[in-house]
Structure 1
Amino acid sequence: MSRRGENIYFRKDGRWEGRCPVGKRTNGTTRFVSVYGKKYSEVKTKLMLLKLKQTNTLDKTTIYSDGTLSAWMTYWLDVLYAPYVKRSSSDAYRTIIESHIEPTFGSVRLTKLNTKTLQIWLDELTVRYAPSTVHNIFRVLNSILSKAVDQGLIQRNPLKDIRKPKYEVKKARYLSRAEQKQLEKTIRQDGKLEYLLCLYTGLRLGELCGLRWDDVDFLNNELHIRHTIKRVKQSGQKHTAVIVSTPKSTSSERTIPVPPFLMQQLKRCRKENGFVFESTGGRYIDPRTVQERFSGIAKQAGIIGAHMHTLRHTYATRCLEAGIPYDVLAELLGHSSPLVTLKCYAHCTGEQKHCYVNKLHQLVEKF
């Protein structure tokens, strides 16, 4: 039986089949080409791309199928978005579409979407999910509908006048100097160099796991960030998968100075090639494993509310306390601009506040 009139059928062998007309036979009958897949969404994408190849045009009735939001989302994601971003980014968007947008509005025609219905839907999401999750869903759908406006599929984005839930970015959790001292003591006892390296370089978790020996410059005491490892959720799958790729942006590919005492420790375990931090069997270490181990170390050190990214926040905070300018810190952290760094770390630690107030008291005493 065809699904929603799209010429897509579920076969007896458990696969989906899509059929696309590609011309006429000599006897006048229509000739079809079939595409197959284990998932309906997979066949739908293949069928749409086959139609695109056949027409070589942005004909709305052909490319966007029945004019539904589902058809446009498939085209937007697989043709306009996914080819130009990291796989982890496209997988994240695909998950949001399939989990939150498709079930409610997939069968609705683009031209029938309206602000009132979308506002009710967004209000319901606000009750069920955290504000950050709702904002992510809104951002994805807004990108999809904005592109639909650009393509002339709809005249106006119905999300333009939507009321979003209030969302405040949480302040970065960083370690106080006392906490850092205690954590370093515990790390040295356990011999876990990876956590000490994060604390003094600001590496992201994926960058740490993706670090290879040929990325370590022992001559100049530097690390060259060229790889990252992530665990991502795959579309239609229950389990996540680990992928090795380049950093998420050009600014993330950078060179970071390393304190000499850390380089000395790296030299003691130096190898010719492979990953700096390996799992059993010489493969890369899973980011999830690194996180779990850190949770145990933090608990042992008596530190509450810390995670792997806390080490990066602590590094940034110590840099600011040392007077490092925001533009330099942005390069060290791999941010796209100093404005991003300023937004994340425009705060003063308690120790800084006391230091500034003490300076004020010193000035008063001179009068």
Structure 2
Amino acid sequence: MAAVSKKGLKIRPSSILIRFMLHGRRYEESISMRPTQSNIKIAARMREEILREIQTGVFEFSNWFPDSKHAQKEVKPKNTFESVSQLYLKSLMLADSTILEYTKLLNQHWIPELGDELVANIRFSNLVEVVNSIPWPSAKTRNNALTPLRGVFQFAVQDMIIDQDPSQYLKNQKHLRPEPDPFSLQEANLITEWLYRNAHPCEANLIEFAFWTGLRSAELSGLMWSDVDWLHSKIKVQRARERYGGGLKPTKTYKVREVELNARAKAALQRQRQWSELSGKEVFINPNTGEHYMTNKAVRTYFTRALKKLGIRHRPSYNTRHTFCTLALISGANIMWVSQQMGHSSTQMTLTRYSKWINGVTNDSQSQLMDALNNRDNMNEANNQEGMI
């Protein structure tokens, strides 16, 4: 009887082989089970767990396949780059999504090249050779990949495995940071109006709220009804949705902030109440599932559809955040207030990033300035329609 292949498995007459990739190499390991339907299901679950351990960087051959020739070779000297990498990852107190990203970068780029080397023997010249051998798609990708690499050596210094950190001399490459590309007030109005006519109200409410609060995509998904202060027209932004797995994490700056609601944002929130307030959990839900958005993919889909139908130049839905910031500055809102609303790390960051939209400073209510800007736009539109009659 010939071997039969299933997803990730090879079924033999008297055994089952589990297939998986580790550090860019394919493995097939046999398990001593007769290939019955129940045993095949068990093998499939084993493979899922093996893949999870590989992804998180804790997989060891000897735990799963003690009789494998690869398990015999697995005894490695202490303090190799790979072993220190695992210690470094376990020491991190970061969001799960960040740790997963670091794990992927280490497994993809650094462990295949440096894994068996003792960290004490790795020199700066070795690192330069490895870094320069990789065809990076962009300077930003390269810089991001260097972060966990440096982290491993910094951990090795802190753990007194080595005295000096050879990675400290690896410099980031300069790259052009894209300039904010906001939508105009007219474009923002067209998009929200189209969504209210053609999409689910939950989707339209989310986008209008995004345009008029400047929350990050992950913060919108993590907003709870318990964060809403109707009396003072504010919301408390204190968590964000993780990119992988849909769990919750602290905000990007690890700070809780209060965001003042202008009239447009409050109206969108009022309209959303009938759809999700009764559950007492997330404010914005996916109308197709009734649950919170696991990723931003669904939002990107209907937002992009609105842009195409309206003939508006494509920009990511995240640019609703840039739109809020620039409209606030154009209306004359205080730069410090805008920075606080946006949750920027400093006012200097807001000044640097959005300087060309700054129109002045005022002591008036900052939300009222944005309401006035919107009202002026509505009056101009009404006057234009009267002139056409």
TM-score by length of 1: 0.70
Question: Within 2, Cα distance between the matches of 1:42 and 1:119?
Answer: 27
Question: Within 2, Cα distance between the matches of 1:265 and 1:178?
Answer: 18
Match of 1:258 among 254, 261, 286: 261
State the Cα deviation string for residues 279-324 of structure 1 (Å, max 9, x = none).
3453113322112111111222222231121000111111222333
1:266–1:160 distance in 2 versus 1, CA, 3 Å: closer
Question: Within 1, Cα distance between the matches of 2:226 and 2:170?
Answer: 50
Verify: 1:172 aligned to 2:180, yes or no. yes
In structure 2, give the amino acid aligned to 1:87: D
State the Cα deviation string for residues 94-123 of structure 1 (Å, max 9, x = none).
111111111111111112212222212222
Which residue of the partner structure matches residue 22 of structure 1? none
Which residue of the partner structure matches residue 145 of structure 1? 153
In structure 2, give the amino acid aligned to 1:328: W
Q: Does the CA-based 8 Å contact 2:235-2:258 persist in structure 1?
A: yes
Question: Within 1, Cα distance between the matches of 2:338 and 2:272?
Answer: 29
Verify: 1:301 aligned to 2:301, yes or no. no
Secondary structure, aligned partner of 2:291: coil
Match of 2:164 among 156, 164, 172: 156
Match of 1:217 among 218, 229, 233: 229
Secondary structure, aligned partner of 2:179: coil
Match of 1:231 among 243, 246, 253: 243
Which residue of the partner structure matches residue 281 of structure 2? 274
Which residue of the partner structure matches residue 24 of structure 1? none
Which residue of the partner structure matches residue 193 of structure 1? 205
State the Cα deviation string for residues 146-205 of structure 1 (Å, max 9, x = none).
232333322322233335433221212212344334334423433411101000000111
* Percent of aligned pairs sharing the same letter: 20
Q: Which moved more, 1:199-208 or 1:290-299?
A: 290-299
Q: Does the CA-based 8 Å contact 1:326-1:338 persist in structure 2?
A: yes
Which residue of the partner structure matches residue 27 of structure 1? none
Cα offset, 1:330, TM superposition: 2.3
Q: Does the CA-based 8 Å contact 1:186-1:297 persist in structure 2?
A: yes
Spell out the pairing of 1:1-367 with structure 2 (5 A cutoff). 12=31, 38=50, 39=53, 41-43=57-59, 66-78=78-90, 80-81=91-92, 84-125=93-134, 127-162=135-170, 164-190=172-198, 191=201, 192-232=204-244, 241-251=245-255, 253-270=256-273, 271-272=277-278, 273-279=280-286, 280-286=288-294, 287-348=296-357
1:106–1:277 distance in 2 versus 1, CA, 3 Å: same
Unaligned runs of 5+ in 1: 4-9, 15-36, 48-63, 233-240, 353-367
State the Cα deviation string for residues 247-294 of structure 1 (Å, max 9, x = none).
34432x222111234423433442332322223453113322112111
1:162–1:212 distance in 2 versus 1, CA, 3 Å: closer
Aligned length: 292
Q: Which moved more, 1:297-306 or 1:182-191?
A: 182-191
Q: Does the CA-based 8 Å contact 2:85-2:152 persist in structure 1?
A: yes
TM-score by length of 2: 0.66
Question: Within 2, Cα distance between the matches of 1:333 and 1:163?
Answer: 30
Cα offset, 1:91, TM superposition: 1.4
In structure 1, give the amino acid aligned to 2:80: T
State the Cα deviation string for residues 225-262 of structure 1 (Å, max 9, x = none).
23322331xxxxxxxx32234434432x2221112344
- Post-superposition, which runs of at least 4 consecutive aligned residues in structure 1 deviate over 6 A? none
1:301–1:223 distance in 2 versus 1, CA, 3 Å: farther
State the Cα deviation string for residues 21-56 of structure 1 (Å, max 9, x = none).
xxxxxxxxxxxxxxxx73464255x99xxxxxxxxx
In structure 2, give the amino acid aligned to 1:103: P
Considering only aligned residues, what root-mean-square deviation do their CA atoms show, in Å? 3.0
Question: Within 1, Cα distance between the matches of 2:137 and 2:87?
Answer: 27
Question: Within 1, Cα distance between the matches of 2:211 and 2:258?
Answer: 16
Secondary structure, aligned partner of 1:223: strand
In structure 2, give the amino acid aligned to 1:88: S
Q: Does the CA-based 8 Å contact 1:115-1:159 persist in structure 2?
A: yes
Secondary structure, aligned partner of 1:242: coil
Which residue of the partner structure matches residue 13 of structure 2? none
In structure 1, give the amino acid aligned to 2:285: E
